[in-house]
Amino acid sequence: MQLFLDTTDTAVLKDLAATGLVDGVTTNPSLIAKSGRPMLEVIAEICDLVEGPVSAEVAAVEAAAMLAEGRKLAGVAANVVVKVPLTREGLIATAEFAREGIQTNVTLCFSAAQALLAAKAGATFVSPFIGRLDDHGADGMGLITEIRAIYDNYDFDTEILAASIRNPAHVTAAALAGADCATIPPGVFADLFKHPLTEKGLEQFMSDWAKTGQSIL
């Protein structure tokens, strides 16, 4: 499973990328606004920090304008993936990007029917929003399961990118449901390393080791 970081904070990205466990990055207009920086500059910097896919989202709502923006974003670096919303216009643009060999991440997916259309349009990734569905009283993880079954039934190549992840349990459940990737906020990513029993066990081992008076080196 590929693990992406959902962030525009390049300091945080640099820190977590040093683990070698960050396979890519996703951004969105809200995260760009939060960075307070020019979008093209942030995306270029992120693309220098990670080799994997970096999603950069269009701001236009009509296909022709999405195409113009997407081509510009794709020109920033070879690993840019153009993120488009799951709308009728977005899928028209997705199909054209596919013809042009530009990778896409179709975002704001909230139903299996939408995901089916994204795959038919030739999306590279589809992003079902787990947390926002759960907030809405729906079953976010159930959506991943449905999309997995549909994509497997028809051998679609579109990768399922579990998005709007809120906690480590979401990452585990997305992996069990067969998501190809998950995009994770930095705080949740950091929490993935932790377990209270790991900390307690390590403390005990270190204390017992100290009593031996030995040194391995």
Residues designated catalytic: 83
**Of residues 152-211, those binding ligand E4P (CB under 6 A):** 163-164, 183
Closest CA to 177 of 119, 128, 138: 128
> Of 90-98, 127-135, 142-150, 203-211, which part binds ligand E4P (CB under 6 A)?
127-135
User: Is 29 in contact with 49 (CB distance < 8 Å)?
Assistant: no
Least Å from the CB of residue 135 to ligand E4P:
8
- Which of 7, 10, 28, 158 lies at the binding interface for ligand E4P (CB under 6 A)? 28
**74 is written with which tokens?**
């794709």
- Restricting to residues 64-103, which ones interact with ligand E4P according to CB under 6 A? none
Residue given tokens 């070879």 in the structure block: 78
Which residue has 């951004």 as its token pair? 27
The nearest distance, CB 197 to ligand E4P, in angstroms, is 28
Q: Confirm or reject binding of residue 6 to ligand E4P (CB under 6 A).
A: yes
The CB density around residue 115, as the number of other CB atoms within 10 Å, is 27
Check residue 7 for interaction with ligand E4P (CB under 6 A): no
SS3 string of 26-38? ECCHHHHHHHCCC
End-to-end CA distance of the chain: 36
* Number of residues located near ligand E4P, criterion CB under 6 A: 11
Apex CA 171: angle with CA 166 and CA 177, to 5°? Answer: 125
Q: Which of 8, 10, 26, 79 is in the footprint of ligand E4P by CB under 6 A?
A: 26
Q: Is 23 in the site for ligand E4P (CB under 6 A)?
A: no
Q: Which residue has the tokens 């270029």?
A: 44
In order of 57, 91, 98, 138, the CA distances from 119 in angstroms are 18, 9, 11, 23
Minimum distance, C-beta of residue 40 to ligand E4P, in the bound complex (Å) = 18
In the set 7, 8, 10, 127, which binds ligand E4P (CB under 6 A)? 127
Residue 132 within binding range of ligand E4P, rule CB under 6 A: yes
Binding site for ligand E4P (CB under 6 A): 6, 26, 28, 107, 127, 129, 131-132, 163-164, 183
